Amino acid sequence: MLLANTDNRYKIIEKNMKKLGYERSSLIEILHNTQEIFGYLDKNTLRFVAKRLKLPLSKVYGVATFYNFFRLTPKGKHTTIICTGTACYVKGADDILKLFEKRFSIKSGETTSDDLLSILTARCVGSCSLAPLIVIDNNTIGNITLDEVKMEMDELIK
Ligand code: FES
Protein backbone atom coordinates (compact mmCIF):
# COMPACT_ATOMS: atom_id res chain seq x y z
CA MET A 1 0.00 0.00 0.00
CA LEU A 2 1.35 3.39 -0.92
CA LEU A 3 0.12 6.77 0.21
CA ALA A 4 0.39 9.43 -2.47
CA ASN A 5 2.07 12.64 -1.35
CA THR A 6 0.50 14.98 -3.82
CA ASP A 7 -3.03 15.42 -4.96
CA ASN A 8 -2.78 15.14 -8.72
CA ARG A 9 -6.47 15.71 -9.11
CA TYR A 10 -6.00 19.46 -9.19
CA LYS A 11 -3.49 19.05 -12.01
CA ILE A 12 -6.07 17.19 -14.07
CA ILE A 13 -8.67 19.89 -13.48
CA GLU A 14 -6.11 22.51 -14.41
CA LYS A 15 -5.32 20.65 -17.61
CA ASN A 16 -9.00 20.44 -18.52
CA MET A 17 -9.54 24.12 -17.82
CA LYS A 18 -6.54 24.93 -19.98
CA LYS A 19 -7.99 22.79 -22.78
CA LEU A 20 -11.19 24.82 -22.51
CA GLY A 21 -9.20 28.05 -22.64
CA TYR A 22 -10.20 28.98 -19.07
CA GLU A 23 -13.51 30.05 -20.61
CA ARG A 24 -15.96 31.19 -17.97
CA SER A 25 -18.75 29.86 -20.15
CA SER A 26 -17.32 26.38 -19.59
CA LEU A 27 -18.02 26.57 -15.87
CA ILE A 28 -20.67 23.84 -15.85
CA GLU A 29 -18.49 21.51 -17.89
CA ILE A 30 -15.56 22.19 -15.58
CA LEU A 31 -17.66 21.59 -12.48
CA HIS A 32 -18.88 18.32 -13.99
CA ASN A 33 -15.35 17.28 -14.68
CA THR A 34 -14.28 18.30 -11.17
CA GLN A 35 -17.08 16.28 -9.62
CA GLU A 36 -16.13 13.26 -11.71
CA ILE A 37 -12.63 13.48 -10.32
CA PHE A 38 -13.37 14.34 -6.69
CA GLY A 39 -16.72 12.63 -6.36
CA TYR A 40 -18.30 15.84 -5.06
CA LEU A 41 -17.56 19.56 -4.98
CA ASP A 42 -16.25 20.81 -1.68
CA LYS A 43 -15.29 24.39 -0.78
CA ASN A 44 -11.65 23.91 -1.73
CA THR A 45 -12.41 22.66 -5.21
CA LEU A 46 -15.02 25.38 -5.80
CA ARG A 47 -12.49 27.97 -4.63
CA PHE A 48 -9.86 26.50 -6.93
CA VAL A 49 -12.18 26.62 -9.95
CA ALA A 50 -13.30 30.16 -9.13
CA LYS A 51 -9.73 31.37 -8.81
CA ARG A 52 -8.52 29.76 -12.02
CA LEU A 53 -11.50 31.03 -14.04
CA LYS A 54 -11.24 34.44 -12.37
CA LEU A 55 -14.85 34.22 -11.27
CA PRO A 56 -16.29 35.28 -7.92
CA LEU A 57 -16.67 32.31 -5.59
CA SER A 58 -20.31 33.29 -5.09
CA LYS A 59 -20.96 32.76 -8.81
CA VAL A 60 -19.32 29.32 -8.86
CA TYR A 61 -21.07 28.35 -5.65
CA GLY A 62 -24.37 29.62 -7.07
CA VAL A 63 -24.06 27.43 -10.16
CA ALA A 64 -23.00 24.41 -8.12
CA THR A 65 -26.02 24.76 -5.83
CA PHE A 66 -28.50 25.55 -8.59
CA TYR A 67 -28.19 22.26 -10.45
CA ASN A 68 -29.23 19.19 -8.55
CA PHE A 69 -26.70 16.98 -10.33
CA PHE A 70 -23.92 18.63 -8.38
CA ARG A 71 -23.12 17.25 -4.93
CA LEU A 72 -21.54 19.67 -2.49
CA THR A 73 -20.91 17.20 0.27
CA PRO A 74 -20.77 13.48 0.55
CA LYS A 75 -23.54 12.52 2.88
CA GLY A 76 -21.60 9.99 4.92
CA LYS A 77 -19.23 10.62 7.81
CA HIS A 78 -16.58 8.92 5.68
CA THR A 79 -16.16 8.95 1.94
CA THR A 80 -14.46 6.38 -0.20
CA ILE A 81 -13.74 7.24 -3.80
CA ILE A 82 -12.77 4.32 -5.97
CA CYS A 83 -10.92 5.31 -9.09
CA THR A 84 -12.40 3.48 -12.06
CA GLY A 85 -10.23 5.09 -14.72
CA THR A 86 -8.57 2.82 -17.28
CA ALA A 87 -5.33 2.15 -15.38
CA CYS A 88 -7.19 1.37 -12.17
CA TYR A 89 -9.84 -0.62 -13.97
CA VAL A 90 -7.22 -2.82 -15.61
CA LYS A 91 -5.70 -3.44 -12.18
CA GLY A 92 -8.93 -4.49 -10.54
CA ALA A 93 -10.89 -1.37 -9.60
CA ASP A 94 -14.09 -3.23 -10.35
CA ASP A 95 -13.29 -5.91 -7.75
CA ILE A 96 -12.52 -3.20 -5.20
CA LEU A 97 -15.81 -1.48 -5.92
CA LYS A 98 -17.70 -4.76 -5.62
CA LEU A 99 -16.04 -5.47 -2.27
CA PHE A 100 -17.15 -2.10 -0.92
CA GLU A 101 -20.65 -2.42 -2.33
CA LYS A 102 -21.06 -5.91 -0.89
CA ARG A 103 -19.63 -5.11 2.53
CA PHE A 104 -21.72 -1.97 3.02
CA SER A 105 -24.78 -3.11 1.03
CA ILE A 106 -24.92 0.07 -1.04
CA LYS A 107 -24.09 1.01 -4.61
CA SER A 108 -21.67 3.63 -5.82
CA GLY A 109 -23.18 7.07 -5.29
CA GLU A 110 -25.06 5.93 -2.20
CA THR A 111 -24.60 6.37 1.54
CA THR A 112 -25.16 3.76 4.21
CA SER A 113 -28.41 4.12 6.18
CA ASP A 114 -26.44 5.05 9.31
CA ASP A 115 -24.64 7.77 7.32
CA LEU A 116 -21.29 6.17 8.09
CA LEU A 117 -20.00 5.87 4.55
CA SER A 118 -20.59 7.25 1.07
CA ILE A 119 -19.12 5.31 -1.83
CA LEU A 120 -18.23 7.28 -4.92
CA THR A 121 -16.33 6.55 -8.08
CA ALA A 122 -14.11 8.84 -10.09
CA ARG A 123 -12.67 8.69 -13.58
CA CYS A 124 -8.88 8.81 -13.10
CA VAL A 125 -7.59 10.88 -10.22
CA GLY A 126 -4.27 11.51 -11.95
CA SER A 127 -2.00 9.05 -10.18
CA CYS A 128 -2.16 6.15 -12.62
CA SER A 129 1.27 4.84 -11.61
CA LEU A 130 -0.32 4.02 -8.23
CA ALA A 131 -3.20 2.02 -9.76
CA PRO A 132 -5.33 0.63 -8.40
CA LEU A 133 -6.11 3.34 -5.94
CA ILE A 134 -8.80 4.54 -3.65
CA VAL A 135 -9.23 7.79 -1.76
CA ILE A 136 -10.58 7.52 1.77
CA ASP A 137 -11.46 10.86 3.35
CA ASN A 138 -8.93 12.62 1.10
CA ASN A 139 -6.12 10.13 1.78
CA THR A 140 -5.02 8.51 -1.43
CA ILE A 141 -4.03 4.88 -1.05
CA GLY A 142 -2.30 3.49 -4.09
CA ASN A 143 -1.26 0.01 -5.23
CA ILE A 144 -3.88 -1.31 -2.91
CA THR A 145 -4.52 -5.04 -2.73
CA LEU A 146 -7.87 -6.64 -1.99
CA ASP A 147 -6.59 -7.70 1.44
CA GLU A 148 -5.63 -4.12 2.17
CA VAL A 149 -9.04 -2.96 0.98
CA LYS A 150 -10.61 -5.31 3.53
CA MET A 151 -8.39 -3.87 6.26
CA GLU A 152 -9.37 -0.32 5.28
CA MET A 153 -13.03 -1.31 5.41
CA ASP A 154 -12.51 -2.75 8.90
CA GLU A 155 -10.97 0.57 9.96
CA LEU A 156 -13.99 2.45 8.67
CA ILE A 157 -16.43 0.54 10.83
CA LYS A 158 -14.30 0.67 14.01
S1 FES B 1 -6.94 5.54 -13.72
FE2 FES B 1 -6.92 5.59 -11.59
S3 FES B 1 -5.48 7.16 -11.22
FE4 FES B 1 -5.59 7.16 -13.36
CB of residue 8 inside a 6 A radius of ligand 1: no
Q: Report the residue among 6, 97, 133 best suited for mutation to probe ligand 1: largest number of ligand atoms under 8 A from its CB.
A: 133
> What's the pLDDT score for residue 88?
97
Least confident of 2-16, 46-60, 86-100: 2-16
Provide the mean pLDDT of the chain: 91
Domain residues of the chain, as ranges? 8-66, 78-157
Decide whether any atom of ligand 1 lies within 6 Å of the 136 Cβ: no
Per-residue pLDDT, averaged over 12-35, amounts to 93
- Residue 134 Cβ < 6 Å to ligand 1: no
Please check the confidence at residue 29 and state whether its pLDDT lies above 90: yes
Secondary structure of the chain as H, E, C letters = CEECCCCCHHHHHHHHHHHCCCCHHHHHHHHHHHHHHHCCCCHHHHHHHHHHHCCCHHHHHHHHHHCCCCCCCCCCCEEEEEECCHHHHHCCHHHHHHHHHHHHCCCCCCECCCCCEEEEEECCCCCHHHCCCEEECCEEEECCCHHHHHHHHHHHHC
Q: Which CATH architecture has domain 78-157?
A: 3-Layer(aba) Sandwich (3.40)
Q: Ligand 1 centre from 11 Cα, in Å?
A: 13
Q: Are 79 and 39 in contact (CB under 8 A)?
A: yes
